[in-house]
Structure 1
Amino acid sequence: MRSVPGTGSPWLRRFHAREGARLTVVLFPHAGGSANFYREWSADLPEEYALLVVQYPGRETRMGEPPVDRMEDLAEGAVAAIEECVSGPYALFGHSMGALVAYESTRRLAKGPLGAPVRLFASARCAPGREGPTAGVHLLDDDGLVAVIEALGGTPPGVLADHGLRSLVLPTVRGDYRLVDTYRPTAPAPVDVPVTALAGADDPSVTPEEVAAWAEMTTRGHVLEVLPGDHFFPVRHRAEVLRILARDLAR
Protein backbone atom coordinates (compact mmCIF):
# COMPACT_ATOMS: atom_id res chain seq x y z
CA MET A 1 0.00 0.00 0.00
CA ARG A 2 1.26 3.44 -0.77
CA SER A 3 0.40 6.50 1.23
CA VAL A 4 -1.51 9.31 -0.41
CA PRO A 5 0.46 12.57 -0.53
CA GLY A 6 -0.62 15.00 2.13
CA THR A 7 -2.13 12.47 4.54
CA GLY A 8 0.44 9.74 5.17
CA SER A 9 -2.30 7.11 4.79
CA PRO A 10 -3.64 5.17 1.79
CA TRP A 11 -7.08 5.40 3.38
CA LEU A 12 -7.45 9.16 2.95
CA ARG A 13 -7.16 11.60 0.07
CA ARG A 14 -6.74 15.37 0.31
CA PHE A 15 -7.38 17.41 -2.83
CA HIS A 16 -6.63 20.88 -1.46
CA ALA A 17 -4.51 21.93 1.51
CA ARG A 18 -6.33 24.13 4.02
CA GLU A 19 -3.74 24.90 6.66
CA GLY A 20 -5.88 27.45 8.49
CA ALA A 21 -9.08 25.39 8.56
CA ARG A 22 -10.95 25.25 11.86
CA LEU A 23 -12.74 21.95 11.14
CA THR A 24 -12.12 18.85 9.02
CA VAL A 25 -14.90 17.17 7.05
CA VAL A 26 -14.30 13.47 6.30
CA LEU A 27 -16.33 12.09 3.38
CA PHE A 28 -17.28 8.46 2.71
CA PRO A 29 -18.20 7.33 -0.85
CA HIS A 30 -21.13 5.18 -1.99
CA ALA A 31 -21.03 1.53 -3.12
CA GLY A 32 -18.68 1.26 -6.06
CA GLY A 33 -17.55 4.83 -5.45
CA SER A 34 -14.12 6.29 -4.91
CA ALA A 35 -12.57 9.42 -3.47
CA ASN A 36 -12.86 11.24 -6.79
CA PHE A 37 -16.64 11.37 -6.35
CA TYR A 38 -16.00 14.27 -3.96
CA ARG A 39 -13.19 16.04 -5.85
CA GLU A 40 -15.27 19.11 -6.74
CA TRP A 41 -16.45 19.49 -3.15
CA SER A 42 -12.94 20.25 -2.01
CA ALA A 43 -12.70 23.39 -4.14
CA ASP A 44 -16.24 24.56 -3.31
CA LEU A 45 -16.12 24.28 0.48
CA PRO A 46 -15.45 27.50 2.40
CA GLU A 47 -11.81 28.02 3.42
CA GLU A 48 -12.59 27.34 7.08
CA TYR A 49 -13.15 23.64 6.28
CA ALA A 50 -10.50 21.09 5.35
CA LEU A 51 -11.71 18.07 3.43
CA LEU A 52 -10.49 14.48 3.56
CA VAL A 53 -12.04 11.64 1.55
CA VAL A 54 -11.90 8.00 2.55
CA GLN A 55 -10.45 5.81 -0.20
CA TYR A 56 -11.72 2.26 0.16
CA PRO A 57 -9.38 -0.59 -0.89
CA GLY A 58 -9.78 -1.96 -4.41
CA ARG A 59 -10.19 1.28 -6.38
CA GLU A 60 -8.19 4.17 -7.85
CA THR A 61 -4.97 4.59 -5.84
CA ARG A 62 -5.68 1.25 -4.11
CA MET A 63 -6.68 -0.76 -7.19
CA GLY A 64 -4.14 -3.50 -6.49
CA GLU A 65 -5.58 -4.27 -3.05
CA PRO A 66 -8.43 -6.72 -2.43
CA PRO A 67 -11.72 -5.05 -1.43
CA VAL A 68 -12.83 -5.28 2.19
CA ASP A 69 -15.80 -7.61 2.63
CA ARG A 70 -16.84 -6.79 6.22
CA MET A 71 -18.32 -3.50 7.35
CA GLU A 72 -16.48 -3.74 10.67
CA ASP A 73 -13.11 -4.05 8.93
CA LEU A 74 -13.89 -1.16 6.59
CA ALA A 75 -14.86 1.11 9.48
CA GLU A 76 -11.84 0.12 11.56
CA GLY A 77 -9.45 0.87 8.70
CA ALA A 78 -11.02 4.29 8.16
CA VAL A 79 -11.01 5.07 11.89
CA ALA A 80 -7.32 4.25 12.29
CA ALA A 81 -6.47 6.63 9.44
CA ILE A 82 -8.73 9.40 10.76
CA GLU A 83 -7.20 9.17 14.23
CA GLU A 84 -3.75 9.38 12.67
CA CYS A 85 -4.42 12.29 10.31
CA VAL A 86 -7.06 14.47 12.00
CA SER A 87 -6.63 16.78 14.97
CA GLY A 88 -9.22 19.17 16.28
CA PRO A 89 -12.95 19.30 15.49
CA TYR A 90 -14.23 17.18 12.62
CA ALA A 91 -17.45 15.92 11.03
CA LEU A 92 -18.35 12.84 8.97
CA PHE A 93 -20.44 12.76 5.78
CA GLY A 94 -21.44 9.53 4.06
CA HIS A 95 -23.48 8.98 0.91
CA SER A 96 -25.49 5.76 0.50
CA MET A 97 -23.22 2.89 1.67
CA GLY A 98 -20.92 5.62 2.96
CA ALA A 99 -23.58 6.69 5.46
CA LEU A 100 -23.39 3.27 7.12
CA VAL A 101 -19.59 3.30 7.14
CA ALA A 102 -19.67 6.80 8.64
CA TYR A 103 -22.10 5.63 11.34
CA GLU A 104 -19.91 2.64 12.27
CA SER A 105 -16.86 4.92 12.25
CA THR A 106 -18.63 7.40 14.53
CA ARG A 107 -19.30 4.66 17.08
CA ARG A 108 -15.63 3.71 17.16
CA LEU A 109 -14.22 7.24 17.06
CA ALA A 110 -16.38 8.29 20.01
CA LYS A 111 -14.56 5.74 22.17
CA GLY A 112 -11.08 6.68 20.97
CA PRO A 113 -8.57 9.47 21.61
CA LEU A 114 -10.05 11.81 18.99
CA GLY A 115 -13.54 11.71 20.45
CA ALA A 116 -16.83 11.92 18.59
CA PRO A 117 -17.39 14.08 15.50
CA VAL A 118 -19.32 17.31 15.91
CA ARG A 119 -21.95 16.08 13.42
CA LEU A 120 -22.81 13.06 11.28
CA PHE A 121 -24.31 13.61 7.82
CA ALA A 122 -26.18 10.57 6.41
CA SER A 123 -27.20 10.83 2.76
CA ALA A 124 -29.50 8.60 0.66
CA ARG A 125 -29.56 5.63 3.01
CA CYS A 126 -31.99 4.12 5.48
CA ALA A 127 -30.84 3.88 9.08
CA PRO A 128 -28.69 0.97 10.36
CA GLY A 129 -30.57 -2.15 11.38
CA ARG A 130 -33.18 -1.80 8.63
CA GLU A 131 -33.11 -3.90 5.49
CA GLY A 132 -31.80 -1.68 2.77
CA PRO A 133 -33.21 -1.19 -0.72
CA THR A 134 -30.37 -3.13 -2.33
CA ALA A 135 -30.86 -6.42 -0.46
CA GLY A 136 -29.82 -9.30 -2.72
CA VAL A 137 -28.42 -7.06 -5.48
CA HIS A 138 -24.98 -8.68 -5.25
CA LEU A 139 -26.60 -12.00 -6.27
CA LEU A 140 -27.82 -10.63 -9.63
CA ASP A 141 -26.05 -11.48 -12.87
CA ASP A 142 -24.02 -8.75 -14.57
CA ASP A 143 -26.93 -7.45 -16.64
CA GLY A 144 -29.13 -7.24 -13.55
CA LEU A 145 -26.44 -5.41 -11.61
CA VAL A 146 -25.93 -2.94 -14.45
CA ALA A 147 -29.69 -2.31 -14.55
CA VAL A 148 -29.65 -1.42 -10.83
CA ILE A 149 -26.69 0.92 -11.26
CA GLU A 150 -28.34 2.71 -14.19
CA ALA A 151 -31.70 2.99 -12.38
CA LEU A 152 -30.02 4.83 -9.51
CA GLY A 153 -28.75 7.49 -11.92
CA GLY A 154 -25.05 7.11 -11.24
CA THR A 155 -24.09 5.88 -14.70
CA PRO A 156 -25.67 6.94 -18.01
CA PRO A 157 -27.44 4.10 -19.87
CA GLY A 158 -25.14 2.19 -22.20
CA VAL A 159 -21.82 3.12 -20.59
CA LEU A 160 -21.47 -0.30 -18.99
CA ALA A 161 -22.31 -2.14 -22.20
CA ASP A 162 -18.57 -2.34 -22.80
CA HIS A 163 -17.43 -5.68 -21.39
CA GLY A 164 -13.92 -4.46 -20.68
CA LEU A 165 -15.29 -1.66 -18.52
CA ARG A 166 -17.67 -4.07 -16.83
CA SER A 167 -14.79 -6.33 -15.84
CA LEU A 168 -13.15 -3.36 -14.08
CA VAL A 169 -16.22 -1.86 -12.43
CA LEU A 170 -18.65 -4.64 -11.54
CA PRO A 171 -16.49 -6.74 -9.15
CA THR A 172 -15.99 -3.71 -6.89
CA VAL A 173 -19.65 -2.70 -7.05
CA ARG A 174 -20.80 -6.26 -6.38
CA GLY A 175 -18.41 -6.56 -3.45
CA ASP A 176 -19.71 -3.34 -1.91
CA TYR A 177 -23.33 -4.45 -2.27
CA ARG A 178 -22.40 -7.77 -0.64
CA LEU A 179 -20.73 -5.91 2.23
CA VAL A 180 -23.87 -3.82 2.82
CA ASP A 181 -26.21 -6.79 2.47
CA THR A 182 -24.29 -8.82 5.04
CA TYR A 183 -23.95 -5.91 7.48
CA ARG A 184 -25.79 -6.96 10.62
CA PRO A 185 -25.14 -4.43 13.39
CA THR A 186 -25.74 -5.89 16.80
CA ALA A 187 -28.36 -3.74 18.48
CA PRO A 188 -27.62 -0.55 16.51
CA ALA A 189 -27.39 2.15 19.15
CA PRO A 190 -27.98 5.89 18.85
CA VAL A 191 -24.82 7.99 18.76
CA ASP A 192 -24.37 11.01 21.00
CA VAL A 193 -23.83 13.17 17.92
CA PRO A 194 -26.29 15.40 16.04
CA VAL A 195 -27.36 13.94 12.70
CA THR A 196 -28.33 15.61 9.44
CA ALA A 197 -30.04 13.19 7.07
CA LEU A 198 -30.40 14.03 3.38
CA ALA A 199 -32.74 12.42 0.87
CA GLY A 200 -33.52 12.75 -2.83
CA ALA A 201 -37.22 13.40 -3.47
CA ASP A 202 -37.18 10.98 -6.42
CA ASP A 203 -34.64 8.45 -5.20
CA PRO A 204 -35.86 5.05 -6.47
CA SER A 205 -33.94 3.16 -3.79
CA VAL A 206 -34.95 4.86 -0.54
CA THR A 207 -37.80 7.22 0.36
CA PRO A 208 -37.45 10.41 2.42
CA GLU A 209 -39.55 8.71 5.10
CA GLU A 210 -37.02 5.87 5.32
CA VAL A 211 -34.13 8.33 5.49
CA ALA A 212 -35.97 10.18 8.26
CA ALA A 213 -35.52 7.09 10.48
CA TRP A 214 -31.98 8.35 11.22
CA ALA A 215 -33.77 10.37 13.92
CA GLU A 216 -33.76 7.14 15.96
CA MET A 217 -29.98 6.89 15.70
CA THR A 218 -29.05 10.03 17.63
CA THR A 219 -29.53 11.38 21.14
CA ARG A 220 -28.48 14.91 20.09
CA GLY A 221 -31.09 16.03 17.58
CA HIS A 222 -31.87 15.34 13.95
CA VAL A 223 -32.43 17.39 10.81
CA LEU A 224 -33.98 15.98 7.62
CA GLU A 225 -33.39 17.69 4.27
CA VAL A 226 -35.21 16.54 1.13
CA LEU A 227 -33.66 17.77 -2.10
CA PRO A 228 -34.84 17.42 -5.70
CA GLY A 229 -33.36 14.55 -7.66
CA ASP A 230 -32.62 10.84 -7.66
CA HIS A 231 -30.12 8.78 -5.67
CA PHE A 232 -27.24 10.95 -6.85
CA PHE A 233 -28.78 14.31 -5.95
CA PRO A 234 -25.44 15.42 -4.35
CA VAL A 235 -23.95 15.51 -7.86
CA ARG A 236 -26.68 17.59 -9.46
CA HIS A 237 -27.35 19.74 -6.38
CA ARG A 238 -23.86 19.96 -4.93
CA ALA A 239 -24.15 23.65 -4.07
CA GLU A 240 -27.28 23.05 -1.99
CA VAL A 241 -25.75 20.05 -0.20
CA LEU A 242 -22.66 22.10 0.66
CA ARG A 243 -24.86 24.96 1.86
CA ILE A 244 -26.65 22.57 4.24
CA LEU A 245 -23.34 21.11 5.38
CA ALA A 246 -21.86 24.54 6.15
CA ARG A 247 -25.08 25.68 7.85
CA ASP A 248 -25.26 22.71 10.18
CA LEU A 249 -21.55 22.80 10.99
CA ALA A 250 -22.02 26.42 12.10
CA ARG A 251 -24.74 25.48 14.60
Structure 2
Amino acid sequence: MNDVSAGQSHDLTLTGERTLPGIWHENYWFRRHEAAYLAVGPYCRDALVLEAGCGEGYGAALLAERHGARVLALDYDPATVDHVRRRYPRVPVLRGNVVALPLADASVDVVVSLQVIEHLWDQPGFVRECARVLRRGGRLIVSTPNRLTFSPGSRSGDRPANPFHTREFAPDELAGLLAPHVEVERLLGVHHGPRLAAWEAAHGSIVAAQLAAPVPEWPAELRAQVATVAAEDFELRADGLADSLDLLAVAVRR
Protein backbone atom coordinates (compact mmCIF):
# COMPACT_ATOMS: atom_id res chain seq x y z
CA MET A 1 0.00 0.00 0.00
CA ASN A 2 1.08 3.57 -0.53
CA ASP A 3 1.81 6.18 2.10
CA VAL A 4 -1.71 7.57 2.05
CA SER A 5 -3.55 4.30 2.65
CA ALA A 6 -1.13 2.16 4.66
CA GLY A 7 -2.25 1.16 8.11
CA GLN A 8 -5.62 2.82 7.71
CA SER A 9 -8.45 2.23 10.17
CA HIS A 10 -11.93 3.64 9.89
CA ASP A 11 -14.74 5.30 11.74
CA LEU A 12 -16.54 5.40 8.38
CA THR A 13 -18.70 2.51 7.24
CA LEU A 14 -18.16 0.76 3.91
CA THR A 15 -21.64 0.96 2.37
CA GLY A 16 -20.93 0.74 -1.35
CA GLU A 17 -21.48 4.47 -1.80
CA ARG A 18 -17.78 5.32 -1.61
CA THR A 19 -14.52 3.44 -1.44
CA LEU A 20 -12.21 3.42 1.57
CA PRO A 21 -8.47 2.69 1.80
CA GLY A 22 -6.89 -0.01 3.91
CA ILE A 23 -9.64 -2.65 3.48
CA TRP A 24 -8.25 -5.65 1.61
CA HIS A 25 -11.51 -6.76 -0.03
CA GLU A 26 -12.19 -3.18 -1.20
CA ASN A 27 -8.69 -2.87 -2.65
CA TYR A 28 -9.69 -3.30 -6.31
CA TRP A 29 -12.12 -0.38 -6.16
CA PHE A 30 -9.79 1.79 -4.10
CA ARG A 31 -6.88 1.30 -6.52
CA ARG A 32 -9.17 1.97 -9.51
CA HIS A 33 -10.04 5.32 -7.92
CA GLU A 34 -6.44 5.97 -6.91
CA ALA A 35 -5.30 5.53 -10.52
CA ALA A 36 -7.48 8.47 -11.51
CA TYR A 37 -6.05 10.67 -8.75
CA LEU A 38 -2.53 9.83 -9.89
CA ALA A 39 -3.44 10.76 -13.46
CA VAL A 40 -4.86 14.17 -12.53
CA GLY A 41 -2.07 15.03 -10.12
CA PRO A 42 0.10 16.89 -12.67
CA TYR A 43 -2.79 19.29 -13.36
CA CYS A 44 -2.79 20.19 -9.67
CA ARG A 45 0.90 20.85 -9.15
CA ASP A 46 1.40 23.98 -7.01
CA ALA A 47 -2.24 24.97 -7.65
CA LEU A 48 -5.12 25.96 -5.40
CA VAL A 49 -7.42 22.96 -5.71
CA LEU A 50 -10.95 22.35 -4.54
CA GLU A 51 -11.92 18.71 -4.18
CA ALA A 52 -15.70 18.80 -4.47
CA GLY A 53 -17.01 15.68 -2.76
CA CYS A 54 -13.82 14.54 -1.04
CA GLY A 55 -15.21 11.43 0.62
CA GLU A 56 -12.73 9.76 2.95
CA GLY A 57 -10.07 12.35 2.12
CA TYR A 58 -7.31 10.11 0.75
CA GLY A 59 -7.42 11.81 -2.65
CA ALA A 60 -7.04 15.32 -1.27
CA ALA A 61 -4.13 14.13 0.86
CA LEU A 62 -2.50 12.44 -2.14
CA LEU A 63 -2.74 15.58 -4.29
CA ALA A 64 -1.27 17.71 -1.51
CA GLU A 65 1.54 15.33 -0.57
CA ARG A 66 2.70 14.27 -4.03
CA HIS A 67 2.06 17.37 -6.11
CA GLY A 68 2.43 20.30 -3.76
CA ALA A 69 -1.17 21.34 -4.30
CA ARG A 70 -2.97 23.55 -1.80
CA VAL A 71 -6.11 21.46 -1.48
CA LEU A 72 -9.39 22.49 0.08
CA ALA A 73 -11.58 19.43 0.64
CA LEU A 74 -15.37 19.70 0.73
CA ASP A 75 -18.06 17.16 1.54
CA TYR A 76 -21.72 17.31 2.55
CA ASP A 77 -21.71 14.55 5.17
CA PRO A 78 -20.81 15.78 8.70
CA ALA A 79 -19.30 12.45 9.79
CA THR A 80 -17.10 12.40 6.69
CA VAL A 81 -15.90 15.96 7.31
CA ASP A 82 -15.05 15.08 10.92
CA HIS A 83 -13.14 12.00 9.73
CA VAL A 84 -11.08 14.01 7.24
CA ARG A 85 -10.17 16.54 9.93
CA ARG A 86 -8.92 13.77 12.20
CA ARG A 87 -7.25 11.53 9.63
CA TYR A 88 -5.69 14.24 7.44
CA PRO A 89 -5.10 17.25 9.72
CA ARG A 90 -3.03 19.06 7.10
CA VAL A 91 -5.94 19.10 4.64
CA PRO A 92 -8.40 21.97 5.25
CA VAL A 93 -11.94 20.64 4.95
CA LEU A 94 -15.35 22.30 4.76
CA ARG A 95 -18.87 20.98 4.99
CA GLY A 96 -20.89 22.20 2.02
CA ASN A 97 -23.15 21.41 -0.89
CA VAL A 98 -21.42 20.91 -4.23
CA VAL A 99 -24.32 22.60 -6.05
CA ALA A 100 -23.98 25.70 -3.82
CA LEU A 101 -20.25 25.95 -3.20
CA PRO A 102 -19.28 28.24 -0.28
CA LEU A 103 -16.53 29.91 -2.34
CA ALA A 104 -16.19 33.19 -4.19
CA ASP A 105 -16.31 33.48 -7.96
CA ALA A 106 -13.02 32.74 -9.76
CA SER A 107 -11.29 31.70 -6.53
CA VAL A 108 -9.58 28.37 -7.36
CA ASP A 109 -7.26 27.03 -10.07
CA VAL A 110 -8.60 23.47 -10.28
CA VAL A 111 -11.77 21.67 -9.22
CA VAL A 112 -11.34 17.92 -8.83
CA SER A 113 -14.45 15.78 -8.39
CA LEU A 114 -13.92 12.07 -8.89
CA GLN A 115 -16.75 9.54 -8.75
CA VAL A 116 -19.18 12.15 -7.42
CA ILE A 117 -21.33 13.48 -10.26
CA GLU A 118 -23.27 10.22 -10.69
CA HIS A 119 -24.55 10.65 -7.10
CA LEU A 120 -26.02 14.13 -7.63
CA TRP A 121 -29.59 15.09 -8.48
CA ASP A 122 -28.69 18.51 -9.92
CA GLN A 123 -25.81 17.59 -12.19
CA PRO A 124 -26.06 20.67 -14.48
CA GLY A 125 -26.11 22.89 -11.39
CA PHE A 126 -22.97 21.20 -10.11
CA VAL A 127 -21.09 21.87 -13.36
CA ARG A 128 -22.30 25.48 -13.33
CA GLU A 129 -21.06 25.96 -9.76
CA CYS A 130 -17.67 24.45 -10.56
CA ALA A 131 -17.29 26.81 -13.51
CA ARG A 132 -18.26 29.76 -11.31
CA VAL A 133 -15.51 29.18 -8.74
CA LEU A 134 -12.82 28.46 -11.35
CA ARG A 135 -10.49 31.17 -12.54
CA ARG A 136 -10.29 31.66 -16.29
CA GLY A 137 -7.97 29.02 -17.66
CA GLY A 138 -8.64 26.82 -14.63
CA ARG A 139 -9.61 23.19 -15.02
CA LEU A 140 -12.53 21.07 -13.93
CA ILE A 141 -11.56 17.39 -13.66
CA VAL A 142 -14.42 14.92 -13.31
CA SER A 143 -14.51 11.13 -13.27
CA THR A 144 -17.53 8.85 -13.30
CA PRO A 145 -18.38 5.24 -14.16
CA ASN A 146 -18.89 4.58 -17.86
CA ARG A 147 -22.59 3.74 -18.19
CA LEU A 148 -21.91 1.49 -21.18
CA THR A 149 -19.84 -0.95 -19.10
CA PHE A 150 -20.96 -0.22 -15.55
CA SER A 151 -24.65 -0.72 -16.39
CA PRO A 152 -24.58 -2.68 -19.67
CA GLY A 153 -27.82 -2.57 -21.60
CA SER A 154 -28.95 0.67 -19.99
CA ARG A 155 -30.12 3.62 -22.04
CA SER A 156 -29.49 7.33 -21.66
CA GLY A 157 -31.57 8.68 -18.79
CA ASP A 158 -32.36 5.29 -17.26
CA ARG A 159 -32.37 5.22 -13.46
CA PRO A 160 -29.26 3.23 -12.50
CA ALA A 161 -29.51 -0.09 -10.70
CA ASN A 162 -26.92 1.18 -8.20
CA PRO A 163 -29.06 2.72 -5.43
CA PHE A 164 -26.49 5.44 -4.77
CA HIS A 165 -26.48 6.72 -8.37
CA THR A 166 -28.97 9.15 -9.90
CA ARG A 167 -27.71 9.19 -13.49
CA GLU A 168 -24.76 7.54 -15.21
CA PHE A 169 -23.01 8.72 -18.37
CA ALA A 170 -21.71 7.39 -21.65
CA PRO A 171 -18.70 9.31 -23.04
CA ASP A 172 -20.72 11.65 -25.27
CA GLU A 173 -23.25 12.28 -22.51
CA LEU A 174 -20.56 13.40 -20.06
CA ALA A 175 -19.01 15.70 -22.65
CA GLY A 176 -22.44 17.13 -23.42
CA LEU A 177 -23.16 17.86 -19.77
CA LEU A 178 -19.90 19.77 -19.36
CA ALA A 179 -19.96 21.68 -22.66
CA PRO A 180 -22.28 24.59 -21.73
CA HIS A 181 -19.90 25.81 -19.02
CA VAL A 182 -16.40 24.46 -19.72
CA GLU A 183 -14.47 23.32 -22.78
CA VAL A 184 -13.55 19.63 -22.70
CA GLU A 185 -9.81 19.41 -23.30
CA ARG A 186 -9.34 15.65 -22.83
CA LEU A 187 -11.71 12.73 -22.35
CA LEU A 188 -9.99 9.59 -21.14
CA GLY A 189 -11.09 6.10 -20.19
CA VAL A 190 -9.83 3.94 -17.33
CA HIS A 191 -8.94 0.42 -18.49
CA HIS A 192 -7.45 -2.69 -16.96
CA GLY A 193 -3.74 -2.98 -17.66
CA PRO A 194 -1.94 -6.17 -18.74
CA ARG A 195 -1.92 -7.91 -15.35
CA LEU A 196 -5.66 -7.55 -14.74
CA ALA A 197 -6.44 -8.33 -18.38
CA ALA A 198 -4.44 -11.56 -18.12
CA TRP A 199 -6.25 -12.56 -14.92
CA GLU A 200 -9.62 -11.93 -16.57
CA ALA A 201 -8.62 -13.97 -19.60
CA ALA A 202 -8.10 -16.92 -17.27
CA HIS A 203 -10.88 -16.38 -14.71
CA GLY A 204 -13.47 -14.01 -16.20
CA SER A 205 -14.53 -10.54 -15.08
CA ILE A 206 -12.94 -9.50 -11.80
CA VAL A 207 -15.83 -7.13 -11.12
CA ALA A 208 -18.45 -9.82 -11.71
CA ALA A 209 -16.50 -12.25 -9.53
CA GLN A 210 -16.50 -9.82 -6.61
CA LEU A 211 -20.24 -9.26 -6.92
CA ALA A 212 -21.12 -12.93 -7.34
CA ALA A 213 -20.53 -14.02 -3.75
CA PRO A 214 -20.01 -12.63 -0.24
CA VAL A 215 -16.39 -11.95 0.63
CA PRO A 216 -16.01 -15.03 2.89
CA GLU A 217 -16.99 -17.21 -0.09
CA TRP A 218 -14.50 -15.74 -2.56
CA PRO A 219 -12.19 -18.36 -4.09
CA ALA A 220 -8.52 -18.17 -3.19
CA GLU A 221 -7.44 -16.88 -6.60
CA LEU A 222 -9.89 -13.97 -6.39
CA ARG A 223 -8.87 -13.09 -2.84
CA ALA A 224 -5.21 -13.06 -3.82
CA GLN A 225 -5.79 -10.95 -6.91
CA VAL A 226 -8.00 -8.35 -5.23
CA ALA A 227 -5.59 -7.95 -2.32
CA THR A 228 -2.63 -7.26 -4.62
CA VAL A 229 -4.19 -4.89 -7.16
CA ALA A 230 -2.18 -1.67 -7.52
CA ALA A 231 -3.01 1.66 -9.11
CA GLU A 232 -0.46 0.78 -11.79
CA ASP A 233 -2.73 -2.09 -12.88
CA PHE A 234 -5.00 0.48 -14.55
CA GLU A 235 -4.37 2.54 -17.67
CA LEU A 236 -5.92 5.85 -18.73
CA ARG A 237 -6.09 6.53 -22.45
CA ALA A 238 -8.17 8.37 -25.05
CA ASP A 239 -8.88 5.39 -27.31
CA GLY A 240 -11.52 2.76 -26.66
CA LEU A 241 -13.76 5.03 -24.59
CA ALA A 242 -16.85 2.90 -25.17
CA ASP A 243 -15.12 -0.08 -23.55
CA SER A 244 -13.59 1.79 -20.63
CA LEU A 245 -14.44 1.18 -16.99
CA ASP A 246 -14.61 4.82 -15.94
CA LEU A 247 -14.49 8.15 -17.74
CA LEU A 248 -12.24 11.06 -16.83
CA ALA A 249 -12.81 14.50 -18.33
CA VAL A 250 -10.40 17.42 -18.14
CA ALA A 251 -12.18 20.66 -19.04
CA VAL A 252 -11.05 24.30 -19.16
CA ARG A 253 -12.87 27.41 -17.97
CA ARG A 254 -12.59 29.97 -20.77
TM-score range, shorter chain: 0.3 to 0.5
Tell me the TM-score normalised to structure 1 length: 0.39
